[in-house]
């Protein structure tokens, strides 16, 4: 764990390289604990999408990126308003969704005693 959350390196071949410092070049960082502000981010991302990303991979990716604390992913530098999410590599999209969205959803599961 990192003091700013959990940094998850991209495991996809071709995007799994590390820098000279041993840190991954491509990654997402998710918080150690999900809090209400993350639910607000989720809601805002869904509202901002205006149905332009469909209702599955693209929308989940937009929400996952809104939930992530930090990231370094190919094609996602600079202002998010300039990102072309419809042209993102689907394998990366699905990986991000699997680590961010799945973890966020898991916090809502209450274990029975």
pLDDT at 1: 42
pLDDT at 53: 67
- With CA atoms as reference, report the closest residue to 30 among 106, 103, 111, 113: 103
**Dihedral sign, Cα of residue 87, residue 31, residue 17, residue 26:** positive
pTM of the predicted protein model: 0.83
What is the number of other CB atoms lying within 10 angstroms of the CB of residue 94? 14
Q: How far is the C-alpha of 98 from the C-alpha of 54, rounded, in Å?
A: 18
Domain residue spans of the chain: 6-106
> What percent of the chain lies above the pLDDT cut of 70?
92
pLDDT of residue 70 exceeding 70: yes
């Amino acid at each position: 764990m990192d003091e700013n959350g959990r940094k998850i390196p991209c495991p996809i071949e071709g995007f799994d390289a590390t820098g000279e410092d041993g840190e991954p070049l491509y990654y997402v960082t998710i918080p150690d604990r999900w809090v209400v502000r993350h639910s607000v981010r989720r809601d805002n991302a869904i509202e901002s999408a205006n149905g332009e990303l469909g209702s599955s991979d693209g929308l989940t990716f937009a929400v996952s990126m809104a939930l992530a604390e930090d990231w370094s992913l190919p094609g996602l530098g600079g202002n998010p308003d300039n990102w072309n999410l419809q042209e993102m590599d689907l394998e990366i999209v699905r990986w991000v969704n699997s680590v961010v969205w799945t973890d966020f959803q898991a916090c809502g599961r209450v274990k029975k005693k």
